[in-house]
Amino acid sequence: MIRKLLVANRGEIALRVFRACSELGIDTVAVAPPDDSGALHARSADETVEIASYLASEEPIRAAKQSGADAIHPGYGFLAENADFARAVEAAGLTWVGPTPEALETAGDKLRSKEVAREAGVPVVESGEPAELGFPLILKAAAGGGGRGMRVVRTAHELDEARAAASREAEAAFGDGTVFAERYVERPRHIEIQLLGDVQGTVISLGERECSVQRRHQKVLEEAPSPALDQALRVQISEAAVAFARAIGYRGAGTAEFMLAGRDFWFLELNGRIQVEHPVTELVTGVDLVKQQLRIAQGEPLDVSNSLLLGHAVEVRLYAEDPRTFLPQGGKLKRLRLPESIRVDAGVEEGDEIALDYDPMIAKLIAHGETRQDALTKLRDALAETEVEGVVTNLPFLRWLVTHPKVRAGHTTTAFLVENPPLSEPPPRPPDAAWRGG
């Protein structure tokens, strides 16, 4: 049993894990370098240990031993999907709250993942040499995701420059500049399946999330369920996700990501961690995903099954960033009023400083309703109540987004923000016909 847990992360995800631990009677340990020692997560744990950096893999292990913690939860980002870190945690005699190092290695290698997916009968996008694929194509980092090391190439004369830029970005982000080429699917939807797997080998799907509204290949609005899926297609994609997870011996909470065009779908990758957008799944299934992570790490069998979906949930991320350019902004939160009518997962509070050295997320706002329109209306009203002073935020953009006719109608793809620039005037009304993308 886990008695004391160290969270090797910061911000809202550290606070989210602390809440789950508190409800389970587990003591908590925060870590923070000197420049982040005053952060909310460092003030909220039962104990805080200073570390040199969130990216120094030896530091959380040292802090765990110093504090007497017997388990480490990596959160998301930083070291969360680092197989060597997971292996070092286990070698130190600590409980690792996450997938096995071997599963992380396979999931983290995008080329190997595609091979495993093919062998498991899961559809993947064609990859290969640019001359064979033709254009447009997309270059991707083999060692990571999150939009980094990614370039769309539409003509042959763009290829060399794009490949060099993608490789440099991948090297800086992941320490590996390897990139590969893949056929580019125009205007797809982004669908992901929430998975849970236990040490006994059981893997289940908790349904999908749609995350098609993105800027720079990073998610802006997430919802569950997807307005594009009927039950038959939901089952097909879920079965594909479970097949891949079983093929790599997956345990813990994970997310299989897919592209969808019409009724065709292709596997992209498996993220071996809790996702930023996990609350929308929690609200429509009633399953606490962080508690499930902790129970699975303790060796307990899954105590949930493939759940019936309960209503609809939508999440947006409130950032300290320019609402048109999405460039990060720093400053002191002189005033912060977050809505009480919906779920809010915040990583800061009034009076805190938003530093440009770290993720500028202020909070996630998540609304749940009986229908999709109910959830969007609740989110619209909650955003109207939200007040932030002292830093520039994307609040005007979020208010624009959740009232946009195409968003309200569910007519969005990954190209939405390219075709509808932030804060631009929306069309007067959406088309009447139902539309599933493609």
Identify each DSSP E strand in 47-178 by its residue range: 47-50, 71-73, 95-96, 127-128, 137-141, 151-153
Q: How far is CA 95 from the centre of its chain?
A: 23
Give residue 434's pLDDT.
39
Name the average pLDDT for the chain. Answer: 95
Given pLDDT bands bounded at 50, 70 and 90, which one contains residue 412?
A: very high
pLDDT surpassing 70 at residue 431: no
Q: Is 273 a catalytic residue?
A: yes
pTM of the model: 0.92
Which long-range CB contacts under 8 A does 428-431 form with residues at least 24 apart?
429/405, 430/405, 430/406
Give residue 426's pLDDT.
57
Distance CA 306, CA 331 (A): 44
Range name among 106-110, 234-238, 303-307, 309-313 with the lowest pLDDT average: 303-307
Domain at 189-419: CATH code: 3.30.470.20
Give residue 297's pLDDT.
98
Write out pLDDT tens, residues 10-22: 999 999 999 999 9
Pair 170, 110: CB distance under 8 Å: no
**Options 3.40.50.20, 3.40.50.300, 3.40.47.10, 3.30.420.610; which CATH number does 4-97 get?**
3.40.50.20
* CATH 3.30.470.20, the chain: domain bounds: 189-419
**b/e per residue 189-204 (b: at least 16 CB within 10 A):** bbbbbbbbbbbeeebb
> Would you call 342 helix, strand, or coil by DSSP?
coil
Give residue 307's pLDDT.
66
CB atoms within 10 A of CB 74: 26
* CATH 3.30.1490.20, the chain: domain bounds: 126-183
- Among the listed residues 148, 151, 251, 273, the single catalytic one is 273
Mean pLDDT of 97-107: 98
% pLDDT > 90, the chain: 89
* CATH 3.40.50.20, the chain: domain bounds: 4-97
> Would you call 272 helix, strand, or coil by DSSP?
coil
Distance CA 333, CA 309 (A): 37
Using alpha carbons, select from 45, 50, 48, 95 the residue that is nearest to residue 70.
Answer: 95
CATH class of the structural domain 126-183: alpha beta
Write out pLDDT tens, residues 189-245: 999 999 999 999 999 999 999 999 998 888 999 999 999 999 999 999 999 999 999
Query: Which position has the token pair 């065009």?
Result: 261
